[in-house]
Amino acid sequence: MNKRPIIVALSLGALLSGIGCLSWAAYGIWSQSDQQLEAAPAVRTASVEPSAAPGPAAVVSYPVRPMKGDGVGTLKIPALNRTLPVIEGTDAKQLAKGVGHYAGSVLPGEVDNCILSGHRDTVFRRLNEVKIGDPLVVQTSAGTFTYTVRSTRIVHANDETVIMPTDHAVLTLTTCYPFNYIGSAPDRYVISADLVAGG
Report, as residue numbers or ranges, the catalytic residues.
Answer: 119, 176
Dihedral pair phi/psi, residue 52, rounded to 5°: -145, -175
Residues 127, 152: Cα–Cα separation, whole Å:
10
3-state secondary structure of 40: helix
Q: How many CB atoms lie under 10 A from the CB of residue 54? A: 16
SS3 19: helix
d(CA 17, CA 112): 62
Amino acid found at 175:
T
| Distance in angstroms (rounded) separating the CA atoms of residues 72 and 109 | 12
Local structure of 38: helix, strand or coil: helix
> What distances in angstroms separate CA 116 from CA 9, 39, 55, 197, one per listed residue?
71, 30, 19, 19
- Residue 50 · residue 194 · CB < 8 Å: yes
